[in-house]
Structure 1
């Protein structure tokens, strides 16, 4: 199994494409468009004029409660801080946001509503930097049952997404509760459900859910529909339905062949399936042909080939990048890290790859030292 430190770039790419792109619940009108659930009179008046995200929800939202005017101001300041920091889209700003949420949570006198808001914001901030503690924050926010419907159900949906990575059975139960209580027909929810069912190995049900979502997306949802198609192709491959996967992939290539990142992930899906590496290489060749001069794509595919132990294909891409002056120290370290993960014990392919990688920069002492370690572990 890959170590997170070395395989992070690929696992993060999978998460970004098959979860965030296809099922982004981060719009959060309650946070990003200036709506507030604060108990202030102005906020209440504003809330009356907005359209609810879940108009058919069966849940009756509780009235927000305040422990003191001072804490009401702090909670509103936390919301405002979130809007400012989240708009920046920088990972370095979220720890401070969480610190502000934690400072409110440390006050034992706060109301259930104020505690729920602080946990919700802390959870959203943790999600932005892929911190597993997001589950703890959002679990407390949802279980408090103190937020308005929009914030409560958005928190529930993001919690289900976070749980899908660690506890898909629990995520599925939460999604079914979400569907029952919101009575929503949002196809995005079906994509999340399809991804969870896929993680549980329930491929037939996953395929049905994803197909329904794709059919319901409109013209304005092109990115989500595309993400759904990529997810569906991946599930087909996992289920061993290679004919369906090939047909869908060919259609995607013909319609929008420049989606290099998504297609690279499908190359990895073919290799992970382990049944037909030739299909992975054939798809990789098609994607490369449609993306000439795309160095990041070539590096990503080289890593995928190393992960799949297709050393000759990885070396060819690595040498191509090096000849063009597009293989820097970071790229070499990424390839070496992937090789360290992929090959355990004596292995002639690993030794061959190590030799080829060193040849790209024989004067790099640090690289040579790390490759020497790999060689010792990999010589047959």
Structure 2
């Protein structure tokens, strides 16, 4: 009978959790304060003159859409003015009710109704009613009365909100329509499509679009690069992901998150030796300040052949510094690290700390086996008793130890 626990059956295969930071969808998809003020000023001027708002730069010069004449009538202008007065005075309920009335009034022109839908959107968005906000945006687009800048801006915001609300298929339809009709090639627009494709797990397509956005930007945002890196990871392109992670880390040598990302990418690409090297450099620089930092490194070592001694050193340091939580996982990893680096005495000590914290009696049984291998029969029997009491898959293994000769 094999007295000793085998490496394959007992070695802690701790999961190495990636810490990649994806490009999150910003909550700030609605108008900024300055945009809102500009819109109000334009509305006031429009209402005063009953003509179109002052011309601004065309943000979509290549658009296939012919912009309609944006003009308020005398009848509609008065209604818009009343709605805007309520909006300016932050009377949200009144502003929204008036916006609804204008939208429903088919005797008013498309510009007036679309403009009201914009205000309805803003009121709903400010109230965190994203479902209603998206419906107002759809109405503003469908009524088709806004100038190209406003029309396409609202379409872009709708795509973002749909993405935020995890309506990925709908968001893709919207962003594709936006890009096709506006003919925009701006990186901040392309990245939304890339993000949607990523969420839809269409990784090759996502990578192509995200890379296009990054290449088109003189200063691509770090979260865009992180998104591309994550896309490569999920698409099983570990080498490509590693290149990006290395570039980001090289530019930010003191950024802990960037360095952890490199280690995570290396780990997921099965380049554990490189992951360990990055983490060791961070440990030496005093950047291990959290429990998860030590777990990341000792887990990496435990998944590398012959690195159990290094794992034990990392765990011991983390425990001594009070950073690594002294829980079951840490102690059982320490016990196994010592055992497989031929430090049986220290392994027994660690097992004695781990066993009472274990969810079942398997750790007591491993303790019994190690004690048996060291000819500490009485202690082995006591551990076997504890194993049976706590519950093991194979009670006969523990009973065999109890049947050993010796007290």
CA offset at residue 178 of structure 1?
0.6
Q: Relative to 1, partners in 2 of residues 1:234 and 1:52: Cα closer, same or farther, differing over 3 Å?
A: same
Q: Does 278-287 or 71-80 show the bigger shift?
A: 278-287
| Match 1:20 to one of 22, 26, 39 | 26
Query: 1:115: which partner in 2?
Result: 116
Query: 1:144: which partner in 2?
Result: 143
Residues 332-361 of structure 1: CA deviation (Å, up to 9, x unaligned): 9xxxxxxxxxxxxxx965999xxxxxxxxx
Gaps of 5+ in 1: 1-12, 82-95, 325-331, 333-346, 353-377
Gaps of 5+ in 2: 1-19, 302-310, 333-357, 361-407
CA offset at residue 290 of structure 1?
7.2
SS of aligned partner of 1:184: coil
Q: Does 70-79 or 273-282 show the bigger shift?
A: 273-282
State the distance in 1 between where 2:31 and 2:242 align. 34
Tell me if structure 1 keeps the 8 A contact 2:58–2:149: yes
Q: Relative to 1, partners in 2 of residues 1:139 and 1:266: Cα closer, same or farther, differing over 3 Å?
A: farther
| Match 2:35 to one of 31, 36, 44 | 31
Query: 1:379: which partner in 2?
Result: 359
| Equivalent pairs, count | 296
Q: Relative to 1, partners in 2 of residues 1:194 and 1:283: Cα closer, same or farther, differing over 3 Å?
A: farther
Tell me if structure 2 keeps the 8 A contact 1:163–1:171: yes
Query: 1:195: which partner in 2?
Result: 195
| Match 2:235 to one of 215, 233, 239 | 239
Query: 1:209: which partner in 2?
Result: 209
Quick check: 1:54 aligned with 2:53?
Answer: no
Query: 1:102: which partner in 2?
Result: 96
SS of aligned partner of 1:158: helix
Q: Relative to 1, partners in 2 of residues 1:281 and 1:141: Cα closer, same or farther, differing over 3 Å?
A: farther
Q: Does 116-125 or 209-218 show the bigger shift?
A: 116-125
What TM-score comes out, normalization by structure 2 length?
0.55
Larger radius of gyration: 2
What TM-score comes out, normalization by structure 1 length?
0.58
CA offset at residue 157 of structure 1?
1.0
Q: How does 1:360-375 map onto structure 2 within 5 Å?
A: none
Tell me if structure 1 keeps the 8 A contact 2:175–2:193: yes
Q: How does 1:153-172 map onto structure 2 within 5 Å?
A: 153-165=152-164, 166-172=166-172
CA offset at residue 253 of structure 1?
0.7
The structure where helix makes up a greater share of residues is 1
